[in-house]
Amino acid sequence: MTTKPQPWILTASCPSRLGTVDVVTRFLAETRNYVLEIQSFDDRALDRFCIRVEFRPERDGFSADDFNEAFAERAAEFDMSWELTAPDHRPRVAILVSKYDHCLNDLLYRYRTGQLNIEIPVIISNHPDLESLAQWHGIPYYHLPITADTKPQQEAEVWKLINQYEAELVVLARYMQVLSPDLCSKLDGWAINIHHSLLPGFKGAKPYHQAWEKGVKLVGATAHYVNNDLDEGPIITQGIQSVNHVHYPEDLIEKGQDIERVTLSKAIRYHIEKRVFLHGQRTVVFAD
């Protein structure tokens, strides 16, 4: 089976003005880089333009440093910020988890089979339950218990590990703890959380049981960036499925967990493939 070659990815954003697409595509053409995919969006609400391009070099000896140096001259005229991502870049992802294992299991499978082009250097938990799963995959697992009194010290250890393992993305794979404002601030824009989409209607314990008692007709999940507004950060992906009277609480839980797995993995993939642009509290997501 032939492996699909991975492209270089150029992402850029700048104030809206005439010529924003041209400055990118013209430069790629002049430097002999073939455009494979291009997506752009002009946000009228914020007067902000963003673009994502997948390309392959048409000549040998492509140099990221030379590309950035040359493109800087063109981008300066548009006050454009940009990022160039190499095909072989595998972002380092730290996973935080509690006792529920469905999202962690799914991410480890996708990591192991190459469906997610990432490295997972560390798993951190406030419970010891999933250590054997991490050990089976050969990934260091840190059990950091937490109480109301020890929360500052525990989060300091979490932050230390995130930096020690040089994580580029943090994923809360059903980590059942509310992060402090300080840690939320540190992780702003590079930590992804997943939760069921029954919020804010059914909070607290047994949300699916609450939803069943009210006869809900939809269950789903939301993946979003972490910020200091609990479960209300900028949304990356959402999933949803219809249910009806034949579905009991355990059925809703099973369906909800399935949707959480798919929704979280898609959000991570969109993030690492540079498909997500943060525009204030909203996102622009160039889905594939």
Per-residue burial over 37-48, b if 16 or more Cβ lie within 10 Å, else e, is ebbbbebeeeeb
- Cα–Cα distance measured from residue 215 to residue 218, given in angstroms and rounded to the nearest whole number: 9
Question: Mutual orientation of helices 249-272 and 102-113 as an angle, nearest 10°?
Answer: 40
Q: Are strands 276-279 and 282-285 parallel, antiparallel or unpaired?
A: antiparallel
Is 188 catalytic? The answer is no
Catalytic residue among 231, 251, 258, 288: 231
Under a CB-based contact definition with an 8 Å cutoff, are residues 166 and 121 in contact?
Answer: yes
Q: In the Cβ-directed half-sphere of 15, how many Cα atoms lie within 13 Å?
A: 5
Residues 265, 281, 256, 103: is their CA dihedral positive or negative? positive
Three-state DSSP state, 84: strand
Catalytic residues: 231
